[in-house]
Amino acid sequence: MKQYRIEGGYSISGTIKASGNKNAALPCIAAALLTDETVILRNIPDIEDVRVMLDVFRALGGKVKKTEKGVFRLNAENIHSSQIPYEHAKNIRASILFAGPLLARTGMVVLPPPGGDVIGRRRLDTHFLALTELGACVEEGESFTFRVKTLNAADIFLDEASVTATENAAMSACMARGTTVISNAASEPHVQDLCRMLCAMGAKITGIGSNILTIEGVEKLSGCDFEIGADFMEVGSFIGLAAATRGELFIEGAEIRDIRPAVSAFKKLGILWEHKGKVLHVPKEQVMEVNCDIGGMIPKIDDAPWPGFPSDLTSIVTVVATQVKGTVLIHEKMFESRMFFVDKLIGMGARIVLCDPHRAVISGPSSLIGAELVSPDVRAGMALMIAAITAKGKSIIRNIYQIERGYENLVSRLSAIGARITEEDT
């Protein structure tokens, strides 16, 4: 087991490059199962979740070759299994993304209950709804077994705008007979990336970027050469890191349109940035004071499905708010366990009232002190990393596997911009 040792209290400064979008890489790897031709994926981040997804791809019979940094050649010509390995499924929720492609290729998939972050209940019902609408039958036991003779198009209304359920439905519908309409579809940038990749493979999809996808099924999909976009969650995390430490940061490769939903939330904390092309600049001089609502009311930062403020950045703005003058309400509406990490911030000296599993009132600024911490999930782990870098004194972060599932080469990248962090064996 490894841990991070951090000496905090120092501002970061310099330039950092955004990695490829983790949440686009995972479904795109699964989508390579839809064809027996070679798929080339570019800008793939070197993170644990990607490595697990590639292991599943290999276990199903696919071939994987890394040709250069961030570039992989995938070939699924000889699929010999429809069973997602339990040891991989328990570690990553995205393993469920193989369900749609395997149904389309083999007519069957055996899926153990997927694992991943423990941030509250994460329903599988919407996946079942979408796949059964397309003709699949499901049997429940220790694993879920889906079977289908022929995928047939359907008019699907998802009961929630689930990202992974939308992706599973879209991948299946590409090879269903007829024209499928998916309403209340998720439209996040990573969903758009997957749809664009599918189109590059020969799929016929309209409505990309909206909550209604229309997909005309085709008999066969081909290989493609596709580059995924930048990880806007990582970009938002780095913005938070620069602001909390009162540092200056240039973030290269940022997709500015993807970070737009975060603008108003950070602005409520007195934090702004500039951009030129794909370089985002977080200046050193920030107001760092809560902008009250009209009438002097305490403002609220709350998450919502795209294009609302991303839930994955809720943990990040919570830490940043501890360093800002004033009071703000953080309302996490989507996951009932995501805010429980604030107990660790309170232990570091933050002034936070956790009202209930969804709401926290934060008054700042607070002088944080180093502590021994355990990362509960990817985003809360990164938030604790920011808190430790901001805090005075030394901190230890354990269970760093959870952080490295979503962030690439953090020690070297953060050290290069002034963070005093080392990785060590426990």
What averages of pLDDT result for each successive group of 10 residues across the chain (426 residues)?
94 96 96 98 95 94 96 96 82 85 93 58 77 91 87 95 95 97 97 98 98 97 97 96 97 94 96 94 94 94 94 95 98 82 96 93 97 92 97 96 91 97 92
Classify residue 341 by its DSSP letter: G
Q: Are 169 and 134 in contact (CB under 8 A)?
A: yes
Residue 193, CB-side half-sphere exposure with 13 Å CA sphere: 29
Query: Hey, where are the domains in the chain?
Result: 2-19+230-425, 22-227
Asked if omega into 114 is within 30° of 0 (cis), the reply is no
pLDDT of 211 reads 96
Tokens linked to 126: 């919407």
Tokens linked to 56: 């599943």
Q: Are 375 and 384 in contact (CB under 8 A)?
A: yes
Helix H or strand E segment including 146: strand 144-147
Q: Are 256 and 281 in contact (CB under 8 A)?
A: no
Helix H or strand E segment including 137: strand 137-140
Q: In the chain, count of helices (H) and strands (E)?
A: 14, 23
Asked if omega into 365 is within 30° of 0 (cis), the reply is yes
* Burial class, 219, CB count within 10 angstroms (exposed 0-12 / middle 13-18 / buried 19+): exposed
pLDDT of 111 reads 85
What amino acid is encoded at 173 in this protein? A
Same fold flag, 2-19+230-425 and 22-227: yes
Which one, of 69, 68, 72, 60, lies nearest residue 25 by Cα? Answer: 72
Helix, strand, or coil (residue 223)? coil
pLDDT of 90 reads 72
Beta strands 13-17; 248-252: pairing state: parallel
pLDDT of 141 reads 79
pLDDT of 117 reads 43
What amino acid is encoded at 72 in this protein? F
Which one, of 57, 93, 88, lies nearest residue 74 by Cα? Answer: 57
pLDDT of 122 reads 52
Domain 2-19+230-425 has CATH 3.40.50.300: no
Which one, of 250, 220, 221, 216, lies nearest residue 235 by Cα? Answer: 250
Q: Are 182 and 155 in contact (CB under 8 A)?
A: no
DSSP string, 84-98: --HHHHTT-GGGGGG
Give the predicted TM-score (pTM) of the model: 0.92
Residues in the chain: 426
Q: How many angstroms separate the CA atoms of 83 and 105, rounded? A: 13
CATH topology for the 22-227 domain: UDP-n-acetylglucosamine1-carboxyvinyl-transferase; Chain (3.65.10)
Could you give the residue numbers annotated as active site?
117
